[in-house]
Amino acid sequence: MSAFASIAKTLNNLKAYNSTPQLFRFTSIRTLLLRSASESLKLQKFTDSDSGIFELTLERPETKNAIGRDMLKRLEYTFDAVNKDNTAKVLMISSSVPKVFCAGADLKERKTMSSSEIKDFVHRLRSTFSLLEELNVPTIAVIEGAALGGGLEMALSCDLRICVEDTVLGLPETGLAIIPGAGGTQRLSRLVGKSIAKDLIFTGRKITGRDAVSIGLVNYCVSSGEAHLKALGIARDIIQKGPLAIRMAKRAINGGFEVDMVSALELEENCYEQLLHTKDRLEGLAAFAERRKPEYTGE
């Protein structure tokens, strides 16, 4: 099928989609082009009252969403595109594959790589997850199935993680005589502490969603089938707040966590001062005084 035929087919599907009641709709030509170019990802822009919420869906069922060269390239492109889109306020990352979030790297593809190719791939994967971590909008991993290896490393790069009770999470790399190489050793230890991170990485054992929430690996653990709805509720809460304030809060938290307290407080002060002369700050004060809902424009 040609690219034009594929896009036409997608447009026809969209017409049918718009004719039925749905939780959300999207209207982005970038979404259509990305969808036709690669069946491994789908980027959606929510509209109407949910405007500002973006959702990236992993769609590679034949490999359980394992990340190969093509999918990595699409992830790089998508994260960069979201970061440059001024209408983005929240990014949710989910999966359309039942019982799977992401199985990690595509090991069948990796078997065909040379040592230098593997080194380059892992470096790009690490850089891509760092890009995800540094996005200027909040990110939410919606984990409704297994998140293993690179899949868990991707979730660790998000700001928030929501899973279901029967979710399975783990970093099994030591069983393959390697280590988590896309940020897993560093992000996991910062999130749950060195001792628990060593336990999980040294043994390579898998834990359930209930265990994950008890150690602080995920923010919320909900009943099966409810993770997406929970994430959407959180995203809706976020988009009601001042978008510039959310961006500055993320910058202050992320940057301050890695430095001493004096430097962290200086960073917080700098981030706060950048909000003092914004229209949004004045709108927030006016709305409070007038007892109405604020209408933030990101200015």
Across-strand partners of 140?
A: 92, 160
The one catalytic residue in 147, 153, 209, 235 is 153
- Is 105 catalytic? The answer is yes
SS3 276: coil
Q: What is the DSSP string of 115-155?
A: HHHHHHHHHHHHHHHHHHHT-SS-EEEEESEEEETHHHHHH
3-state secondary structure of 105: strand
Record the tokens describing residue 172, joined without a space: 């099994």
Q: Is 271 helix (H, G, I), strand (E, B) or coil?
A: helix
Amino acid at 65: N
Tokens of 190: 């910062």
Catalytic residue among 103, 145, 155, 173: 173
d(CA 17, CA 6): 16
Q: Which of 66, 88, 103, 105 is catalytic?
A: 105
Crossing angle (nearest 10°) for helices 69-84 and 29-37: 170
Q: Structure tokens of 248? A: 């500055």
Q: How far is CA 262 from the centre of its chain?
A: 30
CA distance 269 to 123: 34
Cβ(184)–Cβ(147) below 8 Å = no
Residue 20 per-residue DSSP state: S
- Residue 150 known to be catalytic: yes
Which of 52, 104, 149, 150 does the annotation list as catalytic?
150
Catalytic positions? 105, 150, 153, 173
